[in-house]
Amino acid sequence: MKINKITVTFIVNGQEVTLKVGSKERLLDTLREQLQLTGTKEGCSVGECGACTVILDGKAVPSCLILTGQIGGSEVLTIEGLEADGKLDPLQQAFIDYHAVQCGFCTPGMLMSAKALLIHNPHPSREEIRTALEGNLCRCTGYEQIIEAIESVAKNCQ
């Protein structure tokens, strides 16, 4: 049996990339190691902590449970793609303003979950924000500030 390399083309933060990936290579590995997009974090590696969350074709997904070979033709948005023209995304600014970051390990994942929520539902209720963050663990900040930060952005875009 041979361990093959797979050629995949997909879009990352608006740019098309074509890469050779290994048969066991996860999207998380490709982002961090091949593309040097190290904002996406590896926590549990088994879908439970949310640190590796990215947006794939508009939806929040765990990049530790996706093989890069699976995503040809798809569009990926990572934390590095949130900032546009040197301006932070309103969610990023709100996380700063509301002190929603301590060690920051969970922050990229939290922001991607929040972003995916607001793409589909610009005016979520507190309950909907809580649900959107169910899969994102934070050991430091406490969820209140994080939820308030997201709520402030949701209110501002009314």
Ligand X SMILES: Cc1cc2nc3c(=O)[nH]c(=O)nc-3n(C[C@H](O)[C@H](O)[C@H](O)COP(=O)(O)OP(=O)(O)OC[C@H]3O[C@@H](n4cnc5c(N)ncnc54)[C@H](O)[C@@H]3O)c2cc1C
Question: Contact residues for other proteins (CB under 8 A)?
Answer: 1-4, 6, 23-24, 26, 45-48, 50, 53, 59-62, 64-67, 69-70, 72-73, 113, 116-117, 131-132, 134-136
Cβ nearer to ligand X, comparing 90 with 135: 135
Pairing of strands 15-22, 53-56: unpaired
Which positions lie near ligand FES, rule CB under 6 A?
42-45, 47-52, 62, 64, 101-106, 138-141
Spell out the alpha helix ranges (H) of the chain. Answer: 27-29, 90-97, 107-120, 126-132, 143-156
Contact 108, 51 (CB under 8 A): yes
Q: Nearest CA to 24 among 50, 45, 52, 51?
A: 45
What's the min distance (Å) between Cβ of 118 and ligand FES?
A: 20
Cβ nearer to ligand X, comparing 48 with 97: 48
Chain residues in the site for ligand X (CB under 6 A)? 47-48
